[in-house]
Amino acid sequence: MIVTLALVLSLQSQPSRDRWFGPDKVKHFFIAAFLQSVSYSALRAANTRHGLSMAGATATTTVFSIGKEFSDRRKYGEFSFRDLVYDAGGAAAASTLLVRTER
């Protein structure tokens, strides 16, 4: 029990390299927005209905975002939920602009 407590306290004392703000977060936001827009446009070009295109674009952006974090975990040892928050924000911003899009 004491060993577990010591381990937890030692892990908490280490500063996280993952910050809420920084160039990496801006990249996540805009890449997710771009991916959402391109995926939506590709699906609409294939004559998919608006709702299905939006769902497909969201699924594509989600899969790529989570996949990127698993790749980062394998390469750098860190899975960033903060990056996923920025990815979701970028996808939501693009979706807000696309929601009223007509052919």
- Domain boundaries along the sequence of the chain: 18-98
Q: How confident is the model at residue 12 (pLDDT cuts 50, 70, 90)?
A: low
Report pLDDT digits (tens) over 13-33: 455 678 899 898 999 999 999
How far is it, in rounded angstroms, from Cα 44 to Cα 102? Answer: 9
Contacts of 89 (CB under 8 A, 6+ apart): 29, 32
Q: What is the mean pLDDT of the chain?
A: 87
Q: How confident is the model at residue 7 (pLDDT cuts 50, 70, 90)?
A: low
How far is it, in rounded angstroms, from Cα 3 to Cα 18? Answer: 26
Q: Does the pLDDT at position 44 exceed 60?
A: yes
The pTM assigned to this predicted structure is 0.79
Report pLDDT digits (tens) over 75-92: 989 999 999 999 999 999
Which burial class, exposed, middle or buried, applies to 70 when counting CB atoms under 10 A from its CB (0-12, 13-18, 19+)?
Answer: exposed
Which burial class, exposed, middle or buried, applies to 21 when counting CB atoms under 10 A from its CB (0-12, 13-18, 19+)?
Answer: exposed
CA dihedral 97, 59, 84, 66 (to 10 degrees): -150
Give the pLDDT confidence score for residue 13 in this predicted structure: 47
Tokens of 99: 């929601």
Give the pLDDT confidence score for residue 54 in this predicted structure: 96
